[in-house]
Chain A
Amino acid sequence: MKSRLLQFIDLLRTAGVPITAAETLDAARAVTVVGVEPAVFREAVAATLVKDEADRDTFEEVFDRFFAAPAATPKPGTRFQPAGGGEKGRTLDPESTSNSQSRDRPSDRESHRLERGEREKQDGADRRRRMAYLRALHDVPLKDLTPLQVEECELLLAQLAKRLRAHMHRRQRAARRGRIDLRRTIRRSISSGGVPLFPQLRRNRPGKPDLVALCDMSHSVAVATRFLLALLAPAPHYFRRVRLFGYVDAAVEIWLQDGHLVQEGALDLYARSDFGRVLTSFWEERARLLTRNTLLLILGDARNNRRPHRADMLARIESVVRKVVWLNPDERKRWDTGDSVQSAYAPHCEIVLNAATLRELFIAVKVLYR
């Protein structure tokens, strides 16, 4: 039995379910506790090995194939004998999951009830598949998303924005702990006869910087910009002032109103992006926005259509502001290929972050809020 279990675990791992050695031991112990009565056996092994409901389908699939039903009908109470011939090494295709459930029914009398059970099982499987799908959506490169998937991501974004808010809230709370405020402690101690019974802590107010974001609005990175703006929705609570700008070959101010993008003035979305020009005009016209309390966020693929990149302008801006953070929605290996001039700008940014997938974008914004 032990070796059968190990083989099974091996097969699960090949199918992509992460299982550690400790969990293998747990499974073995679990089996010795509950025995091998089929339904119980299945649940015991699942509870010790499958730690994410999204992996449950894979488990069921592998389990059914590995411990295939014996041909003969054993009486209830007979000990479960796993049939030989585990299908090791066979690739599991996810399509067959649903097929494996339609098997011959044991008896007509019970078939109705069983069908209902199967239907419920199917619902659960649908939900699980959806969960796994949404989880995987976090890692799909933004440029490969279909319009439908973009819609689905919008839902995820609301959740992520909520998480960001919680994250920030936590940071502000954490700042409330700190060193003893001697003056307030002594004042408070007067009411307890001079004994400092209630120590007062110094309140650390986390600084609230200004946020200025420059977002590329051109088609190549449109999705990334849209998502970034959604993630910046909670920003006004945590920054003193938030100003958003969209650019292609010139910058205009934009803001979100009820989830819609409003822009001040026209922007030629089909123009060729020219970040050098944007930087220059930004410096000339909006310099008063840039103070030593400003966090400048730039989202763009640094593809300048072979026009002058004017990194010197960014250097000048950097010397004024608190920090410059660059998010690049291109995959890292594509930076500095073709007309990308990322490395020209990089020395003048505090950090250049990857934002090719939703997950990366989220992590990047989390860094930004820090």
Chain B
Amino acid sequence: MPLHYLCGQQHRARSVEDHVSETDANTTADLVRRGLQQARYLTIPRVETVLVLALELEKPLLIEGPAGAGKTEIGKVLATTLATDLIRLQCYEGLDEAKALYEWNYQKQLLRIQADRAMEQSWDEVESHIFSRDYLLDRPLLRALTASKRVVLLIDEIDKADEEFEAFLLEMLSDFQISIPELGTIRASHRPVVVLTSNRARELSEALKRRCLYLYLDFPGVEVERQIVDLKVPELDERVRHSVATFINRLRKLDLRKSPSIAETLDWARALRALGIRELDAPNVRRTLNVVLKHEEDLRKVESKLGSLLSDSNAS
């Protein structure tokens, strides 16, 4: 098979049969493939390769792409693949160390001091007590480092966090360790698998990108999306399933305020099934379109173009 032929196939998803028939000596690759299959996460081969690398090289994985392309899902899939826990850190503006890393349990420390006063202990003793692990409130990052097994740490929507927070993540991402002034440095006993996702609300710093593997996760093509619908909503009429994928793909090419996500495609497919629709024609689409489009102006735009969008989809 010539090389350019292989490369041209990047966007074709492997069907389930391909997965089984191919024998592969690489165990991590096997693991990932089986994990994706188990989680029923259908994707392009590119994703598979990058996941294998993330596990093998023990490097954080940065996933960028439009909202709803399945970025967060990858973290979850990885956790099921490795049969381990998922620790999730949802980023937002103003997220700080106290919320992400650790915080001293002030109330508990105070109680301790009060209790010790009655027992007349020396100051040194009290001090060593109140700054010990018992008085530390673990937040997601610290929990991921101190877990007793390898966990998956999902840092979701890192672009929403402040730039300072990003800088602060660097120590953790490159050395997998955290310094707590009162306690010393805490090193990871088992390096967590780190997945960062970003919607590109802002550019991430070069330093952060440098430390990560990079994956751009776009919406899948018609073919893959069709297979996803087949896999997740098999009860729907086959013809409708196919028109759904084609129609959604057309929608994404329009200039909409919010392109429909894969989850919304599936929601729509489920809605159509629940309504017992057997043909995707204009009245049916109009009835259910609000499952897919959540902005008034998007709805109006698509409704005006409904005729051409649908007639095309029947032709192909």
Q: Taking CB as reference atom, which chain A residue is nearest B55?
A: A33
Q: Which positions 50-100 of chain A face chain B at CB distance < 8 Å? A: 50-53, 56, 64, 67, 69-70, 73-76, 80
In the complex, which of the residues A70, A76, A117, A127 contacts B12, with contact meaning CB atoms closer than 8 Å?
A117
Q: Taking CB as reference atom, which chain B residue is nearest A23?
A: B210
Q: Does A136 contact B (CB under 8 A)?
A: no
In the docked arrangement, what's the CA distance between A46 and B53, Å? 11
Q: Does B212 contact A (CB under 8 A)?
A: yes
Which of A167-175, A298-306, A335-343 lies on the face that meets chain B? A167-175
Which A residues are in CB contact (< 8 Å) with B53? 30, 33-34, 44, 47-48
Q: How far is the CB of B112 from chain A (nearest CB, A)?
A: 12
Report whether A56 and B52 are in contact in the complex, using a CB–CB cutoff of 8 Å.
no
Q: Does A120 contact B (CB under 8 A)?
A: yes
Which B residues are in CB contact (< 8 Å) with A47? 49-50, 53, 213-215
Q: Which positions 1-52 of chain B face chain A at CB distance < 8 Å? A: 1-12, 26, 28-29, 45-46, 49-50, 52
Q: How far is the CB of A370 from chain B (nearest CB, A)?
A: 14
In the docked arrangement, what's the CA distance between A370 and B57, Å? 42
Report whether A70 and B3 are in contact in the complex, using a CB–CB cutoff of 8 Å.
yes
Q: A69-B2, A127-B218 are in contact. Are A195 and B11 (CB under 8 A)?
A: no
Q: Does B244 contact A (CB under 8 A)?
A: no
Report whether B57 and A20 are in contact in the complex, using a CB–CB cutoff of 8 Å.
no
Q: Does B127 contact A (CB under 8 A)?
A: no
Report whether A117 and B10 are in contact in the complex, using a CB–CB cutoff of 8 Å.
yes
Of the candidates B45, B59, B209, B216, the one having the most CB atoms from chain A within 10 angstroms of its own CB is: B216
In the docked arrangement, what's the CA distance between A213 and B213, Å? 45
Which A residues are in CB contact (< 8 Å) with B1? 73-76, 106
Q: Taking CB as reference atom, which chain A residue is nearest B253?
A: A123
Report whether A30 and B57 are in contact in the complex, using a CB–CB cutoff of 8 Å.
yes
Q: Does B64 contact A (CB under 8 A)?
A: yes
Report whether B7 and A42 are in contact in the complex, using a CB–CB cutoff of 8 Å.
yes
- A19-51 CB mask vs B (1 if < 8 Å, else 0) is 010110010011001110011101110111011
Report whether A116 and B8 are in contact in the complex, using a CB–CB cutoff of 8 Å.
no
Which B residues are in CB contact (< 8 Å) with A33? 28, 52-53, 56-57
Which B residues are in CB contact (< 8 Å) with A120? 11, 221-223
Report whether A80 and B3 are in contact in the complex, using a CB–CB cutoff of 8 Å.
yes
Q: Does A163 contact B (CB under 8 A)?
A: yes
Q: Does B168 contact A (CB under 8 A)?
A: no
- B191-213 CB mask vs A (1 if < 8 Å, else 0) is 00000000001100010011011
In the docked arrangement, what's the CA distance between A169 and B223, Å? 43
In the complex, which of the residues B45, B114, B218 contacts A39, with contact meaning CB atoms closer than 8 Å?
B45
Q: Does A196 contact B (CB under 8 A)?
A: yes
Q: Does B128 contact A (CB under 8 A)?
A: no
Which B residues are in CB contact (< 8 Å) with A39? 6-7, 9-10, 45, 49
Q: Does A271 contact B (CB under 8 A)?
A: no
In the complex, which of the residues B8, B50, B94, B215 contacts A114, with contact meaning CB atoms closer than 8 Å?
B8
- A187-198 CB mask vs B (1 if < 8 Å, else 0) is 000000001111
Report whether A106 and B2 are in contact in the complex, using a CB–CB cutoff of 8 Å.
yes
Which A residues are in CB contact (< 8 Å) with B46? 43
Report whether A26 and B10 are in contact in the complex, using a CB–CB cutoff of 8 Å.
no
Which B residues are in CB contact (< 8 Å) with A166? 93
Report whether A29 and B57 are in contact in the complex, using a CB–CB cutoff of 8 Å.
yes
Q: How far is the CB of B168 from chain A (nearest CB, A)?
A: 15
Which A residues are in CB contact (< 8 Å) with B56? 33-34
**Top 10 A-B residue pairs of the complex, sorted by shortest distance between their CB atoms:** A120-B221, A51-B209, A43-B49, A53-B216, A69-B3, A106-B5, A33-B56, A51-B214, A47-B50, A47-B213
- A–B pairs, 12, beta carbons within 8 Å: A26-B59, A33-B53, A38-B7, A43-B45, A43-B50, A46-B214, A51-B206, A70-B2, A74-B1, A117-B8, A117-B10, A123-B253
Residues in chain B within 8 A of chain A (CB atoms): 1-12, 26, 28-29, 45-46, 49-50, 52-53, 56-57, 59, 62, 64, 93-94, 106-107, 110, 114, 162, 201-202, 206, 209-210, 212-216, 218, 221-223, 253
